[in-house]
Amino acid sequence: MKETLLLTKHMRENPEDSHLIDSYEKNGGYETARKTLINGSPENVLEEIKVSNIRGRGGAGFPTGVKWGFLAENEDRYLVINADESEPGTFKDRILLERDPHQLIEGIIITCFAANIENAFIYIRGEYAKPARRVQDAVDQAYQKGYLGKNIFNSEMNLDLVVHLGAGAYICGEETALLNSLEGRRGEPRLKPPYFPAVKGLYMKPTLVNNVETISSVPWIMENTGKEYNKLGVEGSTGTRIFSLSGHVNNPGNYEIEMGSSFGEFVESLGNGIRNNKKVKAYIPGGASAPWFRGDQLDIKMTIDDVANNNSMLGSGAVVMMDEDTNLVNAAKSIVSFFAHESCGQCTPCREGTTWLEMILDRVASGRGRASDIDLLLDVCDNISPGLSWPPKMTTICPLGPSAVSPITSLMNDFREEVESLIPTKVLL
Amino acid sequence: MSESIKINVNGNQIESAPNKLLIEACEDSGIHIPRFCWHKRLDPVGMCRMCLVEIETPRGKMLVPSCTTEVTDEMVVDTESEVVKKAQEGVLEFLLINHPLDCPICDKAGECPLQDQTMAYGPGESRFVEEKRHFEKPISISEIILLDRERCILCARCTRFSDEISGDPLIEFIQRGNKTEVNTFPNEPFKSYFSGNTVQICPVGALTSTSYRFKARPWDLKSVRSTCNGCPVGCSTELNSSQNKMLRILGIDNDSVNQGWLCDKGRYNFEYLNSEFRLKTPLKKLDNEFMETSIKEIYTELSDLISDSNTNINFLIGTNSTNEDYVAFNEFAKNFPSTNQTFYLNDDYLYAGFFEKGINRATIDDLNNSEAIVIWSEDLKENLPVLYLRVRQAVKNGAKLIVFGHSNSTLKDIADFYYSDDIVSENFEIIKDISKLKGIKEHVKDKNVTAIIGKSTPYQLDENLDKLVSYLVENSNSKIMNAFSSGNTFGAINNLDNVKNLRDFTKNVSAENTDLLFVVGSDPIGRSVFSNEIHRIIQDIDNVVCLDLFLHETSELGNYIIPTSSTLGEKEGTFTNIEFRTSRIDKLVPSPGQSLSDWEFISGLSNFCNFNNNIDSLDGLNELAYQDFDDQDSPSFKNLDKPSNFDGIINDYQPNISTELNENLTSKYFVGKKLYGDNITIRYSDSISLLGAKQFIEASESTIEKLNLSSGECTLKQNGHNVSANYVVNNKLADGVIFIPQNRRNFNRFDFSETIEISPNQSKEALNVN
């Protein structure tokens, strides 16, 4: 199995200076944007994106062309790049920001051209200090060159691009919370409806919110046509994806591959297998909020639909391997702790429920559990995500609460004995 | 709007207006959905998740919060399904896991939505065995409000109220997740004129008032519905007492008036009722000393005076009486032709107003239906606070706001056009052609306009207001609201045959033409800008009868003091508000000692003098007050006591004001009233007494620089009268304008037409000669 380098080609080939504009331009950078702006039309760009069948890389996998099509007709509209990459196990946007920021900027220019947008924002998580510096430098360079600002490439198009840093909240990766945060409010998800920021987004104006990887793919699609992109991968999951592989593997890292191979194949070849030749006990196919797969499910294909059909999600492309020695209760606890810590506190079930789950798991993991705790865990989960089904139903505003439920249901469905073994048996009198 | 749609709730068809929130539509049809964060008067946030219900969607049944879901035609809703019940039980369990079980010592217990809904919808017991979340028990977030964050369920009602309704978002969420708490910002207390409303709408005991804390249990409270007589807005209130002591005032949701809100003065200015300094026995002055006497002795001595028909009598009447009291005085005065039925009202802002034919009178609700609102009056926020909230609401709903003068600087932020310095002189005179102003051309001409018009200061000349009003009447479809700002002014001007103001008093009344002066519930010496003149006049009059709650600067000059019942909670009667809406004032607690209502005293005196006035029953006075109206529209007790009329009845009165023009009256300063002042009732209400005590002046930064002020304090000097005060920077004031609050102690003794020397206070070090 081999990588297919579209988005990471330039950074792999120019590891020293891929983030600089000279290097980027030397390798043909900004040519696509220039051509598109001068010779192309917005309709044409939208058509290519639709033909490419690219689906959003942030996690939900929503078809990008369809999303762009939702954009309500209005004079003021915005593009917001969601670079608040905070899902545990995910670190793919980081390299795109840090090592190829101009590719993203070029993608932004083309996207804004297609959607008739004059103001764009990149919302970067506060912890990404170096990537943010690199992006800011790149934006400054692009402004100097006249690729941003007024009359880009001497065309009619104007575009202002602002880099904004978050303040350390996972929830700001949720697009409406991101918009609130960008507006200077508390980072709390908005009520739905309105269902799509494309209708009412930033400052209640039509807004496209797209992931870094999605928009970074735009220059390649425009250069090579949507049809070529569509040929890569498999139906429903076209193109390449950068998977962040971590956990108990020998070679963790970011790998750009065409979608369609199995998780097992991916881990064996590119990940070079599990460390110490251990077996996989369980793995997370798409970030901390995704339900787990068992070690005997490694033949599931790495496509959005295959993973979904097996009741989990490919999500943000974070693959986390857990070997046979892993204490899965501790693993679940650490994920639940994360969500409890990151809950915005807005709605009751998530604010109170996630912390309670954390407390119960902590009790169980440290051998102080009670026999009733397993039922209690499941019932508290059920009060956050009624029915414990996938995709989750929820009593909350956004899916953060139900995300904390995923590892627990995985644990209970497939590894219940492991939990039970940690609960001390009652002394019979 | 008349269209309605049908939805199916729990198998029953109900009708609803389209676009209504599901929770409201259900409520209207008698189906209660439990809730904490949703409040009828606040924007929905869907945070507590208590109101989850199931609706049918193309993708199957879905749980949605009914407070953020609008009804649609043919919607199928289940509010009682197993899934819904489970979710509600779950939410309640979540809310309770960190809620302290201190109900036995919590003021809210007994009227607590969390308690009630736990009983109705909650799980029977807790499965939470861990330690609950802890915060420091109540922290005070202002002089009058305490916050217990452990009890808080984070419903955002208080934060939304202060953001959306009162516009002073001083209370906010901080932290996140399980650590989220409501709090104020560092060094910025919750100093809002409307903070008490957050206590009322808090669904738990997290926010409490200093005045009510630990005073009573809700099930011991007696309550009546009444009307606040603090200002002419006339908010509907519920008065609560326990053991015959008034303990709390709540706002009632009167849709046309206060919509549930009260200002903090209206809510907390009641503790004086229980003050040990209340007058309890009639007093008579002998050798400059007050001696206790009997009411009979006073009647005897007064009737001797009165029986001489040549006796010249004058009335200085306060605005805190009921309409029935005013009728009694009016009838009584008919026995003395020399009075010409003239009554001097204790108000230095009162002027003839705009009531003539051809001027349409506005109701408060008209604000919501107008395209533009024009305001030129005293500061609404300080003087008619709930009307200020209604103006904010109307602006939020799309009305354009045009403000004249610098007295309403608190509205500057939401005003579309704020005409101050270059349009209006320091003496509140329009100095440009109104018709040429941009905002006027655009938003007022030929539009539906509601104007709130009143004197910005006691010194503003009537003709300046005339100019604006005649423009509005001629050029727009306007309705005018006369913004008098004292208590039951509108009741007084309806029921007294001829009303004048304090300026007229200083010009017309003297010891020569007055043998006997009745001063009723008034302290003009302590409050009016004509303090000095009034003091001189009253001092010289031989016989002064004061009807009051307390001894104060004015009543101290009386020869006879009659202790009276307070209109707040100790009397029955009616009150007429700014839109001529008459509503009920009711009695809840007994008045102390030998206190009498104003009308009881006058009626007794009248009987003692053998006058044939027919003013000896409250019902009789009430009938007399409204005898000119058809039985149906009349705000008689009989009509007002029908539930459909609880919100009051509006009538088209023709008021009787004959104030003289105030030409030659000038001021070098911008004089106005603050909400909290040095009033006698505030002074004796412990919780809020300090709020009106601070002495300060306001000016812009550059003005303060010109005055060479730097130490934070200054001294105002004039003819040997010195007041030491703080100064506050208010850059909304034009250069050179200095604001002086007339109702803070001793300021009203200055002659504002003359220069007041303002000098920096020397620092203490400089004074230290050692």
Q: State whether B177 and A186 contact (CB < 8 Å).
A: no
Do residues B47 and A347 touch, judged by C-beta distance below 8 A? yes
Domain contains A428: no
| Confidence at residue B762, expressed as pLDDT on a 0 to 100 scale | 67
Structure confidence at residue A193 (pLDDT)? 84
Which strand (E) or helix (H) includes residue B704? helix B701-706
Same domain for A311 and A333, yes or no, is no
Report chain B's mean pLDDT, rounded to a whole number.
94
Q: Residue B677's closest CA among B659, B691, B663?
A: B691
* Any domain includes A299: yes
Angle, helices B618-625 vs B323-333, to 10°: value is 80
**How many whole angstroms separate alpha carbon A313 and alpha carbon A395?**
20
pLDDT number for residue A159: 97
Contact A168, A127 (CB under 8 A): yes
Q: Which chain B residues are closer than 8 Å to A374 by Cβ?
A: none
Whole-number average pLDDT of chain A: 95
ipTM: 0.94
Please tell me the distance from the alpha carbon of residue B627 to that of residue A134, in angstroms, as a whole number.
Answer: 83
Distance CA B434, CA A362 (A): 72
CATH of domain B670-767: 2.40.40.20
Task: Say if the Cβ atoms of A393 and B45 lie within 8 Å.
Answer: no
| Closest residue of chain A to B83, computed from CA coordinates | A386
- What pLDDT sits at residue B170? 96
Residue extents of the structural domains in chain B = 5-96, 133-210, 283-350+489-650, 360-482, 670-767
* Structural domain of A384: 328-422
Residue A206 forms part of a structural domain = yes
Q: Give B 160-189 residues with CB within 8 A of chain A.
A: 173, 175-180
Residues of B in contact with A340 (CB under 8 A): 177-178
H or E element at residue B770: none
Q: Provide the pLDDT for residue A428.
A: 61
- In tens, the pLDDT along B489-538 reads 999 999 999 999 999 999 999 999 999 999 999 999 999 999 999 999 99
Mark B425-464 as b/e (b = at least 16 C-beta within 10 Å): ebbbebeeebeebebbeebbeebebbbbbbbbbbbbbeeb
pLDDT range class, residue B654, cuts 50, 70, 90: confident
Listed residues A196, A231, A266: the one ending a domain: A231
Question: What percent of chain B is modeled with pLDDT above 90?
Answer: 87
Are residues A157 and A254 located together in one domain of the fold? no
- Going by their DSSP bridges, the two strands B448-453 and B372-376 should be labelled as parallel
Confidence category of residue B427, pLDDT binned at 50, 70, 90:
confident
Per-window interface: A 283-342 vs B, CB < 8 A = 340-342
Q: Are A319 and A313 spatial neighbours (Cβ–Cβ below 8 Å)?
A: no
Check if the beta carbon of residue A190 is closer than 8 Å to that of residue A180. yes
Q: Are residues A261 and A402 in the same domain?
A: no
| Gap between the Cα atoms of A317 and B337, Å rounded | 96
Q: Quick check: B646 contacting A, CB < 8 Å?
A: no
Tell me the pTM. 0.94
* Inter-residue contact B205 to B109 (CB < 8 Å): yes
Domain endpoint, select from A323, A345, A375: A323
When divided into structural domains, chain A yields a total of 3
CATH number belonging to domain B283-350+489-650 = 3.40.50.740
Q: Could you tell me if A401 and A367 lie in one domain?
A: yes
Select from A191, A344, A348 the Cβ nearest to the Cβ of B176: A344
Contact B91 A342 (CB under 8 A): no
Tokens 């100790």, located at residue? B570
The CATH number of the structural domain formed by B360-482 is 3.40.228.10
Q: Which residues of A are less than 8 Å from B87 in CB distance? A: 383, 386, 395
Neighbours of B57 (CB within 10 A): 11
Indicate whether A279 and A168 sit together in one domain.
Answer: no
Counting residues of chain B whose pLDDT is more than 70, the rounded percentage is 99
**Which stretches of B474-534 are assigned E, i.e. beta strand?**
477-482, 498-500, 516-520
C-beta of residue B483 within 8 angstroms of C-beta of residue B377: yes
What is the phi-psi region of residue A273: left when phi exceeds 0, alpha when psi lies from -120 to 50, beta otherwise?
A: left
Is the pLDDT at B74 greater than 60, yes or no? yes
Structure tokens at B347: 């108000």
- Roughly how many angstroms between the first and final C-alpha of chain B, as a whole number? 80
- Residue A3 domain flag: no
Span B287-301, mean pLDDT? 96
Nearest-CB residue to B177 (from A340, A376, A380): A340
Q: Which backbone phi and psi does B139 adopt, to 5 degrees? A: -105, 145
| Residue of B66, B64, B139, B128 whose CA lies nearest to B96 | B128
User: Which of B676, B679, B738, B739 shows the shortest CA–CA distance to B382?
Assistant: B676
pLDDT reading at B311 higher than 60: yes
User: Quick one: three-class SS letters along B255-299?
Assistant: CCCCCCCCCHHHHHCCHHHHCCCCCCCCEEEECCEEEECCHHHHH
User: Tokens representing A4?
Assistant: 């297919």
Question: Which secondary structure element, helix H or strand E, spans residue A166, and what is its range?
Answer: none
Across the range B637-655, mean pLDDT stands at: 93
Q: Which amino acid is at A305?
A: D
How far does A128 lie from chain B, in Å, by closest CA? 21
* pLDDT at A13 > cutoff 80: yes
Cα distance from A264 to chain B (closest Cα, Å)? 34
**Is residue A316 located within the same domain as residue A350?**
no
Backbone angles phi, psi at A54, to 5 degrees: -70, 135
Asked if A103 and A219 touch (Cβ cutoff 8 Å), the reply is yes
Question: In this structure, are residues A6 and A239 in contact, taking their beta carbons and an 8 Å threshold?
Answer: yes
Given an 8 Å threshold on Cβ–Cβ distance, is B47 in contact with A343? no
Q: What is the pLDDT of residue B571?
A: 96
Distance between CA B667 and CA B695 in Å, rounded? Answer: 20
Token output for B345:
């009202």
Alpha-carbon gap, residue B467 to B507, rounded angstroms = 26
Is residue B403 a contact partner of residue B417, using CB atoms and an 8 Å limit? yes
| Residue A346 domain-assigned (yes or no) | yes
User: Which are the contacts of B168, defined by CB distance < 8 A and separation ≥ 6?
Assistant: B162, B191, B192, B194
How many Å apart are CA A84 and CA B268, to the nearest integer?
48
How far apart CA A266 and CA A20 sit, in angstroms, is: 32
Tokens (6 digits) for B502: 């304090």
CATH of domain B5-96: 3.10.20.740
What's the pLDDT band for B747 if we cut at 50, 70, 90? very high
Q: Kindly calculate the radius of gyration of chain A based on its CA atoms and give it in whole angstroms.
A: 22
Nearest by CB: A341 against B95, B128, B177: B177
Q: Comparing C-alpha atoms, which of B364, B372, B369, B391 is closest to residue B380?
A: B391
CATH of B133-210, one of 3.40.50.300, 3.30.479.30, 3.20.20.70, 3.30.70.20: 3.30.70.20
Write the CA distances from B410 to B166, B730, B769, integer angstroms: 11, 11, 44
Q: For B54, which residue in chain A has the nearest alpha carbon?
A: A395
Q: What is the pLDDT of residues A196-242, one digit of tens each?
A: 899 899 999 999 999 999 999 999 999 999 999 999 999 999 999 99
Residue B106 has pLDDT above 80, yes or no: yes
Q: In what order do the strands lie in the sheet with B12-16?
A: B12-16, B5-9, B76-78, B52-57, B60-65
Last residue of a domain, one of A231, A246, A266: A231
Q: Are residues A128 and A26 in the same domain?
A: yes
Who contacts B190 (Cβ-Cβ below 8 Å, separation ≥6)? B141, B142, B145, B162, B170, B171, B184
Is A203 in the same domain as A292? Answer: no
- Name the nearest CA neighbour of B346 among B653, B615, B743, B688: B743
Whether residues A376 and B127 touch (CB distance < 8 A) is answered with: yes
Burial (0-12, 13-18, 19+ Cβ within 10 Å), A311:
middle
Q: What is the pLDDT of residues B19-37, one digit of tens each?
A: 999 999 999 999 999 999 9
Task: Report yes or no on A427 lying in a domain.
Answer: no
Q: What is the pLDDT of residue A196?
A: 86
What are the tens digits of pLDDT across the range A29-78?
A: 999 999 999 999 999 999 999 999 999 999 888 999 999 998 887 778 99
Instruction: Burial-class residue A20 by CB neighbours within 10 Å (0-12, 13-18, 19+).
Output: middle
- The residues near B277 (Cβ < 8 Å, ≥ 6 apart) are B550, B551, B684
Let me know: does B528 contact B554? Beta carbons within 8 Å: no
- Over residues B221-242, the pLDDT tens digits come to 999 999 999 999 999 999 999 9
Establish if A400 touches chain B: CB-CB under 8 angstroms.
Answer: no
Q: Are A402 and A348 in the same domain?
A: yes
Residues whose CB falls within 8 Å of the CB of residue B578, separated by 6 or more in sequence, listed in order: B232, B233, B234, B364, B384, B387, B481, B482, B483, B484, B490
Question: Dihedral of CA A166/A168/A170/A172: which sign?
Answer: negative
Interface of A with B in 94-153 (CB under 8 A): none
Choose the closest CB to A386 out of B86, B95, B180. Answer: B86
Closest of B606, B604, B559, B538 to residue B282, by C-alpha: B559
Q: Give the whole-angstrom CA distance, residue A86 versus residue A168.
A: 9
Q: Is residue A4 part of a domain?
A: no
pLDDT of amino acid A427? 63
Residue B758 has pLDDT above 80, yes or no: yes
Q: Is residue A132 situated within a structural domain?
A: yes
Average pLDDT over residues B476-490: 96
pLDDT in tens, A135-144: 999 999 999 9
Specify the pLDDT at position B770. Answer: 47
